[in-house]
Amino acid sequence: MLLISEAQILDVLRRQNSWWQTGRVPPDLARPFRRLPFYEVQSFLQKPELNRAIVLEGARRVGKTVVLHQIAEEAIRQGASSRRILYIT
């Protein structure tokens, strides 16, 4: 069985969530051009009464990760604490 230490997990999470330290999503991760999926996810997030998980699915390299980073960037821009945004892949 492979055991991963808590320190190793935290190291990976810190690297994947650099905005915890900087307060902003790196521009190369959250491209400036917003496509339709960004707006669709954003509209679901603005309706907390739905109480649902949002699943982004699609072929490889179509922009799912970019949308997630754009959502994180927008949340920070709207005043969410960057330390409350968790990205796991």
Please write the tens of the pLDDT for every residue from 34-83: 999 999 999 999 998 988 888 899 999 999 999 999 999 999 999 999 99
Q: Cα-flanking dihedrals φ and ψ of residue 34, to 5°? A: -100, 125
In contact, 80 and 25? CB cutoff 8 Å? no
What's the pLDDT score for residue 2?
79
| Model confidence, pTM | 0.87
Domain ranges of the chain: 6-84
